[in-house]
Amino acid sequence: MPNAAVKSCSYCLAFTPELAFHYGNTPYMERQAKPDSEFLAALPRAAQSYEEACRYAPNLAYIGAISVEELSGRPQPWLDNLEPAPVRDGRFGEIMPEDEFLGLMDLCDVFDLIWLTEDFAARVKDRLTARGFWAEPQLARLEKGHALSEIDEEVKNHKALPLYYGGKTAGCCRRGHETDENLSAHVLLENIASKATSVLALMHLFKNAGMKPEELDFVVECSEEAIGDMNQRGGGNLAKAIAEIAGANNASGFDVRAFCAGPAAALIASASMVAAGARENVAAAAGGAVPKLYMNARDHVKKGLPALENCLGSMAVLLTPEDGESPVIRLDSLGKHTVGAGASPQAVTTALAWEPLEKLGLKLTDVDKYAPELHNPEITLPAGAGNVPEANYKMIAALGVMKKQLERADIENFVKERGLPGFAPTQGHIPSGVPYMGHALEAMKKGDLKRVMIIGKGSLFLGRLTNLADGASFLMEKMPAGQGEAAGAVTARDVEEAVLEALGNLAAALSE
């Protein structure tokens, strides 16, 4: 069975404490219920600053400024052991500051939804231009700005939502329709923020892969936002909207949704299209979720901890046909959680980790690293949600004991050797295993890793249509050239080698 090569990855964070404070769902709901609450008063003081975000080791591991091994070696808590100097750019992407991100939302706006004040618009244009990252046609999309009085009028009388920078009004997000709640300023702000973060990730993907935007064939978008109006809420194709702004004029796209398992599902769909030859290449991309900003901040504030959840996460992975060099996504051993599998952790772990390996005659110990939900534990532990990746490793190891592949005494070692520290922001779909693919790609190229398993899990009950659990998994593997091709099939490389060998023999015969 042919597979698809993992060619390049990008991972970015957008530092957005003002968006988080005003429109993250936890503070937003609190403001509706108790505008004068102690939590809201304390939250801005607890916020992680941009400099701190750029010195925080898990963030640096996410953007590829440090390796996962380096993160593991850093003293914990990472919160109390910030890196000596802030780092904005990593090998996979960047940590974008909030003023530039508000500008990027404007750059991504094609319906005059984002208005910036004149001063702020000029400032962000200078800032984005100075980065030397954005193309001229993209920068030309930035507006000149509006008078503050116009923005105040939109907010006061037309249900626009103010956008802030440094505690002051920097602009607003306007509604897309007078009565359609699906096109309210709130929904559109979430959607355009997701779009902008995806564009950022896609642009970094082009840079990392050394490809021109025009060379991209297809985008599969896999965030958790619903794009559409009252007649088709969730109608979608955020993918194409992203490709348009990124300058991928020869690409088309579609969206995949599966809650937090969306990225794993999108990569399987993308890899299948590439392996089948239906698409020349595919970028699977996901943007960040504004509602999830400061999701657990109530617990962080209560415990006197920094409120870390003020970064939107985004990522993109480029898949191409197998080339004999790049690691592949194996399509002969995909993990799926069936309707009848059951919702217990045991049933889910069996379906996603055990069954795909059993299909190949492999053991749980044949996988070098597992990448399940990679939530940063310094965010989840204070909120009572535990250390999510560690819990997953223990479950996989315990399953190994039940299947008699491991001794009970080996559980701790299994977790240590085959586990990873959680380093992804708690943005729902973002931690779903995929953030490790960039690190795995690098390690496989160096020969340090052979096989990893990416696992995404979704909580379908949140949509109130089913109580079923869900998940998807796949193996990413460094394969010797040609091994992934159909057994016995003759590849172009085989023909080339045979012709060269015959010509060599002929030359040798003639010279004798």
Partner 1 sequence: MDLANQQRVKDAAEKFGADNVIVVLGSSDAEGAGIYAETVTAGDPTFAGPLSGVALGLPVYHIFEDAIRAEADPAEWENQISMMEMVLNTEALAQAVAEMRNEHGKSVL
First to last CA, the chain: 43
Q: Which of 42, 79, 87, 401 binds partner 1 (CB under 8 A)?
A: 401
Asked if 342 interacts with partner 1 (CB under 8 A), we say: yes
42 is a site residue for partner 1 (CB under 8 A): no
Nearer to partner 1, 380 or 427 (CB): 380
416 forms part of the interface with partner 1 (CB under 8 A): no
Phi-psi region of 189 (alpha: psi -120 to 50; beta: other; left: phi over 0): alpha
Query: Interface with partner 1 includes 40 (CB under 8 A)?
Result: no
How many other C-beta atoms lie within 10 A of the C-beta of residue 229? 14
CB 452 within 8 A of CB 362: no
Q: Taking the mean position of all CA atoms in its chain, how far away is CA 472?
A: 15
With beta carbons less than 8 A apart as the criterion, state whether 317 and 396 touch: no
Do the beta carbons of residue 28 and residue 328 sit within 8 Å?
no
344 scored as a contact of partner 1 (CB under 8 A): yes
Quickly tell me which residue has 């060269």 as its tokens.
500
User: Could you say whether residue 346 binds partner 1 (CB under 8 A)?
Assistant: yes
Residue 391 binds partner 1, judged by CB under 8 A:
yes
Stretch that binds partner 1, among 255-263, 319-327, 343-351, 365-373 (CB under 8 A): 343-351
Q: Which stretch binds partner 1 (CB under 8 A): 270-278, 378-386, 443-451, 491-499?
A: 378-386
Closest to partner 1 by CB, 16 or 349: 349
Instruction: Specify the residue for token string 């015969």.
Output: 509
Strands 218-221, 451-459: pairing kind? unpaired
Give the binding range for partner 1 (CB under 8 A) out of 80-88, 98-106, 189-197, 384-392. Answer: 384-392
Nearest distance, CB of residue 308 and partner 1, angstroms: 18
* Using rule CB under 8 A, residue 341 touches partner 1: no
Contacts of residue 35, Cβ cutoff 8 Å, sequence gap at least 6:
none
Where in 279-338 is the site for partner 1 (CB under 8 A)?
298
How far is C-alpha 140 from the chain's CA centre?
Answer: 27
In angstroms, rounded to a whole number, what is the distance separating the alpha carbons of residues 488 and 483?
A: 10
Check binding of 395 to partner 1 (CB under 8 A). yes
Is 459 a residue that touches partner 1 (CB under 8 A)? no
For partner 1, which residue of 31, 186, 363, 394 counts as binding (CB under 8 A)?
A: 394
- Considering beta carbons, is residue 189 or 397 the nearer one to partner 1? 397
- Total residues interacting with partner 1, rule: CB under 8 A: 21
The pairing of beta strand 95-96 with beta strand 4-15: parallel
Both tokens of 141, joined, read 């999309």
Closest CA to 374 of 451, 326, 429: 429
Nearest to 192 by CA among 224, 146, 154, 238: 238
Selected from 3, 349, 376, 426, the binder of partner 1 by CB under 8 A is: 349
Alpha-carbon gap, residue 80 to 88, rounded angstroms:
19
Task: Please identify, using beta-carbon distances, which residue of 32 and 157 lies nearer to partner 1.
Answer: 32
Question: Rounded to an integer, what distance in angstroms lies between the CA atom of residue 115 and that of residue 102?
Answer: 10
The verdict on 361 binding partner 1 (CB under 8 A) reads no
Q: Where are the alpha helices (DSSP H) in 326-403?
A: 345-349, 355-360, 377-380, 388-402
Interface segment toward partner 1; rule CB under 8 A; list 88-96, 260-268, 342-350, 447-455: 342-350
Quote the least distance from Cβ 225 to partner 1, whole Å. 21
Sign of CA dihedral 264, 270, 272, 274: negative
Backbone angles phi, psi at 30, to 5 degrees: -60, -40
Nearer CB in complex with partner 1: 191/380: 380
Q: Which is nearer to partner 1, 238 or 399 (CB)?
A: 399
Closest distance to partner 1 from the beta carbon of 414 (Å): 12
Among 245, 258, 329, 399, binds partner 1 (CB under 8 A): 399
The interface mask with partner 1, positions 5-34, x = CB under 8 A, is ----------------------------x-
For partner 1, the binding residues (CB under 8 A) are 33, 298, 342, 344-347, 349, 384-386, 391, 394-395, 397-399, 401-402, 408, 411
